[in-house]
Structure 1
Amino acid sequence: MGYLGNDGQTLAFEESLKYKDQIKRDGIIQFLNLYKKFKNITYKETIKNIVYEKYLPIHWGDEVEAHIVFLDKESKVPKIVPDIHYLFQRVQQDQQEEPEDVNFKLVPEYGGWMIETTPSNPYYTINNLCAVPTNLSERSHKINSYLNSGQKVLYTSTFPILGQIDQKYYYIPQAQNNEHLNQVTQSLFIDDRIISDHPRFPTLSSNIRTRRQEKVNIRVPIFKDKQTNIEVSQYNPDPDFIYMDAMAFGMGSSCIQTTFSAKNLSHARRLYDQMSIISPLFLAMTASSPIFRGKLAAIDTRWDVIAASVDCRSPEERNPSSSKYIPKSRYDSISFYISDEKRNLPQYNDLKFPLNEEIMNFAREKSKEMGLELDENYIRHLGFLYIRDPLVLFEKKLNVDNEKETLHFENIQSTNWNSVRLKPPPSMDSKIGWRTEFRTMECQITNDENAAFMLLSHIFVRLFYQSDSLNFYIPITKVDINFQRAKQVDAITTQKFFFRTNIHEDGEPIIEELTLHEIFFGKSQVFDGLYQYASQVWESMMQEIFGSNGNNDKTEFEKVWNFIRQRTSGQKFTVARWIRNFVKSHPEYKQDSEITNSIAYDLIEAITSISEGKTQDPNFTPIF
């Protein structure tokens, strides 16, 4: 979740406003210094032993987030575990004593009960798809071995009864009425003690609320069942919506993300654009969030909840009639394509979205002073990022050497949580080149599912390594419509998505509304499907590199696509659909949209048992 250096005291938002303009200008200067040093760096210069010039290996990695929960067998209440310092200590100790046995890094997340794991070293692959499920399986096994008795790793996007006021879901004692333990969030539902104690996280919560001038206001349409009857109160102000009022409801959800090395800066920008177009498709395929605050929702994904949970826009910025209106939260889909290719036609950027013109002029002036040529598409990208204010400033890090540090640039960059992210080299002395991060996938129940979606994103990146002609461009507004469709219940089989069918041509797009199955596997006389094209590229690559043994190396590729075929055809349910079916068939469910303690307990017990391989379920059969 961005910069996690612990540099002491953070500034309250009112105090940080004194330094806002300085931080923004310094951030631009830091970026330009990075750009000057790395603008011409190629991926070939950062790797060794290139055996196949035509088929560069790809450095890439993943991030898998999860919840640590406690299943209390006596009370039949599932509880989050907000203090997991012991887990970090055990991992650190093993890394020192037996480093060969720990193939991952453990990183704190927003919730004190949450973890994020990444591989110790990036994957370095031409093919070798089986490395990913193996790595994930080993990670899970190791983390489970560290847990205290009764604790489990929960691999779904949301903890189902987080914030349910009439259920004791904390592992720590709940606050009494006379205790003031929500000064950061001022939430009706959330105890501040569940937030990670890293200073970045409570400061984010407090400063978002302060800049917004009120608590965050998250409203998710409730699933209306036969007996649903929500009594209006301060906890449920609208009977048609599930109300939430704290950052924890969004940033307390889990996802999977992948980050890929690019050939060079231009290639990274191309990946940014093209992967952003397919990002809502991945959101629909990985949907796993049908429950919020102990209630069934009428949506299947966490995306809008996170967007609302970090929505720091002021009242004017949220008002469509205001001249200062900003249409989206700082967590949302991208709003501009940024590639410097000719095929990035002006009409694709058809979303009216404000830019920080002052910062754009500053970037033009400074780049000219430094003898740099920075094209207008990238200057506009900076203008898009810099309509946001810095949210977390460390007192000791206000004044840094702009020729050596990238902290102030990353301050803005890392809190623009968009569907994809262009990532420059992380420091001035970095040996890493330009990268693109893919950010929309929801966490799945099994390692194989998570691995399959990661590998599918890798396969698409490989296509953009091998082909300069592949073109997914459609107008940005249609991508945003696809995001709205992706969150709908069972969107994977019931919704159609805008997609370009003349993917090997430049110029005007031919756009059809297709189901996900049609996009991936074709529709007669309309579109051949992405699988057919990917398969041809992959088979050609395997044959050229490995000769007659190439067919064996295509096996894992086919396993990924077979899983996607089963998902998009409805043969296998999304996690969201599986959870809905579990709840509706539970003997305690009263068709009232409410998730009781027992339902939540049994649901989590079933999920963790499947994740650990102790229970076999026909919907989650092994993929690899």
Structure 2
Amino acid sequence: MGYLGNDGNTLTFEESLKYKDQIKKDGIIQFLNLYKKFRNITYKETIKSIVNEKYLPIHWGDEVEAHIVLLDKESKIPKIVPDTHYLFQRVQQDQQEDSEEVAFKLVPEYGGWMIETTPSNPYYSINNLCAVPSSLRERSLKINSYLNPGQKVLYTSTFPILGQIDQKYYYMPQAQTNEHVNEVTQSLFIDDRIISDHPRFPTLSRNIRTRRQEKVNIRVPIFKDKRTNVQVSQYNPDPNFIYMDAMAFGMGSTCIQTTFSAKNFSHARRLYDQLAIVSPLFLAMTASSPIFRGKLAAVDTRWDIIAASVDCRSREERDPQSSKYIPKSRYDSISYFISDEKRNLPQYNDLKFPLNEEIMNFARQKSKEMGLGLENDENYIRHLGFLYIRDPLVLFEKKINVDNEKETLHFENIQSTNWNSVRLKPPPSMDSNIGWRTEFRTMECQITNDENAAFMLLSHIFVRLFYQSDSLNFYIPITKVDINFQRAKQMDAITTQKFFFRTNIHDDGEPIIEELTLHEIFFGKSNVFDGLYKYASQIWESMLKEVFGQNYSIKDTEFEKVWNFIRERTSGEKVTVARWIRNFVNNHPEYQQDSEITNSIAFDLIEAITSISDGTLQDANFTTIF
């Protein structure tokens, strides 16, 4: 979620406006100071040891977000638990009492009922893929051991009845009243007390609404079943859409993310571009969000919902006819490729997207004064111009004037609130021993640890390809990447949609682009494309034979298990979480084919999901992978 320092009181958006230009320029100076110190650092200088010069181990990590819910069997209403402080206290107590370090870190998230776990130390190996499922299983066991009676960890992206207006959908022992508190959000549906009390989160909610000059307006097409009949009211202003009006509906959803160390600054930019191209494919494969505010939607992912939930653009900035038009929310797909490689042809950046020209000129000027040479790197200067069309949203009053040679706070202020499909991450501080990294951000949470691990490992396998192959090239025009995002969110996109993909992936010239199903992209289409599995397995087996000996085979390894799972998922043999949820609802005896998710349906759904997650319920769609 970005910078989580707690530095006292935050400023309202109106109060922050007088500092806006200073914060932006200081942020650029902070980045340039980082760049000056770390521009030539290579991955080899930051890793512990080098087993093989050709096949470097990769430092990488993950973030897994989850909901903490209460299954109240008396009322049969599932409830979120918006006070997870006790979990953080129990982790801290474990660390103090146990001589062995707790193997994961617990991080607060936007919702007071949400948690995020990360491994205490990054994964670090050439081939040790089994470390990831083991880490996720260990985290789940620990978190479950900390929970209070009746509480469960819910790993799907959305809590299905968040925002229901006809009952108390939240569980709040410290505030058992019928009062509806909405000063921050002004929401019809959300009580402000479910937002995490870390000052960053309510400030984001308030300042996004203030900058926008109205509440966020989230409208998701409703799934039209046989008896769907939405009555128009202030809660349902359009019968064709599910209406939501608060940041919690987006930032209250969960995902999995992976972050990878790059060889150097240039390599991080290459990973940024290439991972951005495959990011909508991962969104379609991991789709797990078919229900919002107790209604079935006509989409399978949270992507548009979370984009709308943090959309701070003013009316003028949302108007395509305005000179100030910004086509996307600050949470969306990237809008420019940034690699400095020759294969990043100008024609691929075919999206007309506004830039902060003033900041770009300022960055060029300061780079020249500092002798950095970055002023001649138009692709990266443009990246800064892209980030800095956004305003800072959270300012701490005691952290306005800082030492730009020591701090990175103001750069991170802008960087961490550009929630894009991928993120290029410089070293996190001026005294860091961590190099350049790239974060992959589009995967939705799955029901089981093995599923989450499989998609994390697939992203790792892709990164390994770009460590080992200098010729691999996925570039297509960025407008086609955006079309792929639109297709990825559709119902059952994994099997029903086709996606633009480059088939001459070892050619730096003009792209040959085909529209292929996900199964064809990964496993090939006769006389069109061999499939990414073929290229990945060749590179992977060649690497491991050279490192571990010629008798090494990838057969029956975690590598093959990942690909077998992807084969089953993309062929439709095993359905996405979103389709599984739809099937569960359709088969529930209380479902009236009216798109409505009743309390009982939601209760039974969450009970089934959490039971599959903890292994007490077996389901043929969610078998063990590793």
What range is the shorter-chain TM-score in?
A: over 0.9
Paired with 1:275 and 1:35, the residues of 2 have a C-alpha distance of: 23
Q: Name the counterpart of 1:435.
A: 437
Q: Secondary structure at the match of 1:378?
A: helix
Task: Using the TM superposition, give the Cα deviation of residue 169 of structure 1 relative to its aligned residue in structure 2, in angstroms.
Answer: 1.0
Q: Secondary structure at the match of 2:171?
A: coil
Does the 8 A contact of 1:102 with 1:142 survive in 2? no
- Cα offsets for 1:396-415 (capped at 9, x unmatched): 00000000000000000000
- Write out aligned runs for 1:400-415 (5 A): 400-415=402-417
Matched, 1:238 2:264: no
Q: Name the counterpart of 2:398.
A: 396
Matched, 1:60 2:56: no
Paired with 1:591 and 1:281, the residues of 2 have a C-alpha distance of: 30
Does the 8 A contact of 1:175 with 1:181 survive in 2? no
Q: Name the counterpart of 1:11.
A: 11
- Cα offsets for 1:96-125 (capped at 9, x unmatched): 221526210000000000000000000002
Task: Using the TM superposition, give the Cα deviation of residue 617 of structure 1 relative to its aligned residue in structure 2, in angstroms.
Answer: 0.3
- Cα offsets for 1:155-192 (capped at 9, x unmatched): 00000000011132110167866x45100000000000
- Write out aligned runs for 1:253-292 (5 A): 253-292=253-292
Q: Name the counterpart of 2:40.
A: 40
Q: Which 5+ residue runs of structure 2 have no aligned equivalent?
A: none
Paired with 1:308 and 1:373, the residues of 2 have a C-alpha distance of: 38
Q: Secondary structure at the match of 1:100?
A: coil
Q: Name the counterpart of 1:417.
A: 419
Q: Name the counterpart of 1:21.
A: 21
- Cα offsets for 1:53-79 (capped at 9, x unmatched): 110000000000000000001000000
- Write out aligned runs for 1:204-243 (5 A): 204-243=204-243
Matched, 1:299 2:320: no
Distance 1:345 1:165, change over 3 A: same
Task: Using the TM superposition, give the Cα deviation of residue 95 of structure 1 relative to its aligned residue in structure 2, in angstroms.
Answer: 1.4
Task: Using the TM superposition, give the Cα deviation of residue 136 of structure 1 relative to its aligned residue in structure 2, in angstroms.
Answer: 0.3
Does the 8 A contact of 1:364 with 1:379 survive in 2? yes
Q: Between Structure 1 and Structure 2, how many residues are aligned?
A: 623
- Cα offsets for 1:125-161 (capped at 9, x unmatched): 2011000000000000000000000000000000000
Paired with 1:165 and 1:495, the residues of 2 have a C-alpha distance of: 35
Query: Which amino acid in structure 2 is aligned with residue 577 of structure 1?
Result: R
Paired with 1:223 and 1:16, the residues of 2 have a C-alpha distance of: 41
- Cα offsets for 1:2-42 (capped at 9, x unmatched): 00000000000000001000000000000000000000000
Does the 8 A contact of 2:154 with 2:606 survive in 1? yes
Q: Name the counterpart of 1:123.
A: 123
- Cα offsets for 1:533-555 (capped at 9, x unmatched): 00000110111111145226861
Q: Secondary structure at the match of 1:519?
A: helix
- Cα offsets for 1:82-103 (capped at 9, x unmatched): 0110010000111122152621
Q: Name the counterpart of 1:482.
A: 484
Q: Secondary structure at the match of 1:400?
A: coil
Does the 8 A contact of 2:355 with 2:386 survive in 1? yes
Task: Using the TM superposition, give the Cα deviation of residue 48 of structure 1 relative to its aligned residue in structure 2, in angstroms.
Answer: 2.4
TM-score when scaled to structure 1? Answer: 0.99
Q: Secondary structure at the match of 1:550?
A: coil
Q: Name the counterpart of 2:469.
A: 467
Q: Secondary structure at the match of 2:342?
A: coil
Query: Which amino acid in structure 1 is aligned with residue 309 of structure 2?
Result: S
Q: Secondary structure at the match of 1:573?
A: coil
Q: Secondary structure at the match of 1:227?
A: coil
- Write out aligned runs for 1:332-371 (5 A): 332-371=332-371
- Cα offsets for 1:168-217 (capped at 9, x unmatched): 2110167866x451000000000000000000000000000000000000
Q: Secondary structure at the match of 1:551?
A: coil
Query: Which amino acid in structure 2 is aligned with residue 122 of structure 1?
Result: P
- Cα offsets for 1:449-487 (capped at 9, x unmatched): 000000000000000000000000000000000000000
Return structure 1 stretches of 4+ with deviation > 4 angstroms: 173-177
Q: Name the counterpart of 2:330.
A: 330
Q: Secondary structure at the match of 2:45?
A: helix
Identity of aligned residues (%): 88
- Cα offsets for 1:368-398 (capped at 9, x unmatched): 0000111111000000000000000000000
RMSD (CA atoms): 1.0
Query: Which amino acid in structure 2 is aligned with residue 573 of structure 1?
Result: V
Q: Which 5+ residue runs of structure 1 have no aligned equivalent?
A: none
Q: Name the counterpart of 2:191.
A: 191
Paired with 2:368 and 2:161, the residues of 1 have a C-alpha distance of: 54
Distance 1:300 1:99, change over 3 A: farther
TM-score when scaled to structure 2? Answer: 0.99
Does the 8 A contact of 2:541 with 2:554 survive in 1? no
Query: Which amino acid in structure 2 is aligned with residue 409 of structure 1?
Result: F
